[in-house]
Structure 1
């Protein structure tokens, strides 16, 4: 009897549909969040075959994706976000999810910005996972309490707090010299300096006047100025290492997306206990966002039913709640119960819920513009940040000229979201 049951079990496993999913969710909290989806999918007899590529901001995963598609070996599903989703959709390689979206009433259930991100030429091209708030300042509660400090709301307060932290033997601001992390800090400074309207002129509309604006110069100047409060010598390291320095109390603050919250929670550090999070100074009403999505590659359509089930599962309310609670993000469903959220998630949901006028799409995380323009700006920002002899004015001119050149080549087009 035991062997018969084992045989039936193996037959059942053999009948399970298998989907390979390529993504870059590889930190402790990200793995835990992914596993919550794997478990739910398994309940529908669908196997999630993991193809995880390490590397912040999906830089490595994007390269692997391109090489696999060119080789005719695309996975069934891929983490694609923002403008990169549009670029792949334009190639006609993605499965349209119109039927799943209609049956799930996505248009009515989701935040309008999240819903708009999924569409291209009138078709739904991806299933959303969650919304991250990038303009987040984390502060170590034990350190702040010991030194009698309050989280800063303005840049003047930030400078005073940073000076007191340094005097107390604590590195004021955790940071990596890795290009995308430097640029993530930079884009929050642009938002603080100019607000969402100017931010969109710069990174979505690619306005020449915006790139010549004094607000960009001030954001660059502040970026360089913040180096005095960072670890010395500053080196490239994964964001999770910077988060660990912060968690251990070696650094008092950390400016990064709210995926850091998920990682701290995964390490057993509770929100509002070991740490707190507030908006980056002078961005309290704004939401600099990144929306994670999964797209399905069409190929020969033999996996279509399982791919549609994957889209259905990850967008259902139970999966949205569990995944985003672990990941540190918030649900794309605007009816999510905020009473079950921690203070960080609640603040994110309230800021995002204020609507498009208060939202800004992250250019670093592919929400605002094409890959070529994104990469060019990030490289120039890192060059300025690392090079002590590189001036803010020269960097502003170089970025402006570079974006104009890319626009003339037919690149530099924002997605308008």
Structure 2
């Protein structure tokens, strides 16, 4: 009888152990759908599956706003995914306050995230009130102009050293049958380009005073008037096909030497990589002005909604650990076009553009904190709409656009 009891107890213990350690599917929602983005996210999927047991289940939804909305709907509806991509900032603050995210603090403490992740502003997006609620996976910067080297050679002009210099050279590009300035029609693309020009013209101190501190003397002043005037000057050098074009098709105009420059974040570098193009030969990554370059510290984070299944929770923690590991950071960011969030990774595969970004970011004085840390989704959406309207509607005056910009900042929460 005792032997039967003992055998039953051993079997039960073994079954319990198997239950805890069983494999789980981890559904990951993200918006990486372009060629370069798919190459990058496949690194995560491949490396996670290679760990054994648990499986990455891919749910790609085109458009960041659409993917975030789907994630929020799933969480609030009681059917959360295993992980979801967001941008660092205020997009997920209600999920934190509502207790709907898995607390990663024990894992982060064990792996010393607070020390290895840099700069500090990257950690701040996930480290809230002493707890880690997400994992940052890259440093993306908006502050780049991507240039076709053959296009500028065809026009007989050197690469620009500033945005003013580009405007002076743009007529030569146009005369050579090249689209001087490539831009897509989505509002976030247009506002993003506006923000890069704004940073270059205002400088980092005034930019922060404007967007973080809501300094109305800057918003209403002559410096912002010049920003709107400069941005409008770019319009004459764009093409008629821009209205319905997405960002990666716009990047392809640079890749195929049909256009001179595109202002776009460094995720564009992945598109050049997929096309087999080489920096310094086929294209240039320009941080303008070249005598005072800046990078912004945007990027992507992954959060992990709470799940009642212990196996899924264990897999979520395994996925978070893998995403921040030195090996995966190197592989993923080389594919994505972004910079790793830690500086102890093997960067032997880094191309010249990544090396340039890493050199710029070494000096804190060159870092522009992402405006999404300060502005709510609603405020950002209003700015997107305003700048897109200013771009498309030539009847809107600079004075009218600046006045509306001021009103948005005054009402910003």
TM-score, with structure 2 as normaliser: 0.89
Q: Does 1:186 align with 2:179?
A: no
8 A Cα contact 1:93 1:298, kept in partner: yes
Question: What is residue 397 of structure 1 aligned with on the other side?
Answer: 403
SS at match of 1:321: helix
8 A Cα contact 2:154 2:176, kept in partner: no
Question: What is residue 45 of structure 2 aligned with on the other side?
Answer: 38
Structure 1's consecutive aligned runs of 4 or more residues displaced over 6 angstroms after TM superposition are none
Question: What is residue 157 of structure 1 aligned with on the other side?
Answer: 165
1:85 CA displacement: 3.3
SS at match of 1:143: helix
SS at match of 2:244: coil
Question: What is residue 32 of structure 2 aligned with on the other side?
Answer: 25
Instruction: Measure the CA separation in 2 of the matches of 1:342 and 1:249.
Output: 20
Q: Quickly say closer, same or farther: Cα 1:227–1:391, change in 2 above 3 A.
A: same
SS at match of 1:82: coil
8 A Cα contact 1:29 1:326, kept in partner: yes
Equivalent of 1:374 in 376, 380, 383: 380
Instruction: Measure the CA separation in 1 of the matches of 2:257 and 2:122.
Output: 36
1:390 CA displacement: 0.5
Question: What is residue 316 of structure 1 aligned with on the other side?
Answer: 325
Q: How does 1:7-406 map to 2 (within 5 A)?
A: 15-44=22-51, 45-55=53-63, 58-83=64-89, 84-111=91-118, 112-281=120-289, 284-300=292-308, 302=310, 303-337=312-346, 340-355=349-364, 357-363=365-371, 366-406=372-412
After superposition, give the CA deviation of every residue in 1:313-366 in whole Å (9 maximum; x if it has no partner).
0101110000000000010002345554211111111222212x3222333xx3
Long gaps (5+) in structure 1: 1-10, 412-417
1:285 CA displacement: 2.6
Q: Quickly say closer, same or farther: Cα 1:300–1:313, change in 2 above 3 A.
A: same
1:249 CA displacement: 1.4
1:283 CA displacement: 7.5
Q: Quickly say closer, same or farther: Cα 1:404–1:352, change in 2 above 3 A.
A: same
1:49 CA displacement: 0.8
SS at match of 2:157: coil
1:91 CA displacement: 2.2
1:207 CA displacement: 3.0
Q: Quickly say closer, same or farther: Cα 1:125–1:186, change in 2 above 3 A.
A: same
Instruction: Measure the CA separation in 1 of the matches of 2:214 and 2:309.
Output: 38
Question: What is residue 415 of structure 1 aligned with on the other side?
Answer: none
Instruction: Measure the CA separation in 2 of the matches of 1:92 and 1:400.
Output: 35
Greater Cα shift, 257-266 or 292-301: 292-301
SS at match of 1:107: helix
Instruction: Measure the CA separation in 2 of the matches of 1:234 and 1:392.
Output: 21
8 A Cα contact 1:21 1:48, kept in partner: yes
1:367 CA displacement: 3.8
Instruction: Measure the CA separation in 2 of the matches of 1:283 and 1:233.
Output: 33
TM-score, with structure 1 as normaliser: 0.89
How many residue pairs get aligned? The number is 391
Q: Quickly say closer, same or farther: Cα 1:98–1:301, change in 2 above 3 A.
A: farther
Instruction: Measure the CA separation in 1 of the matches of 2:170 and 2:208.
Output: 30
Instruction: Measure the CA separation in 1 of the matches of 2:97 and 2:223.
Output: 34
CA-based RMSD of the aligned residues comes to 2.0
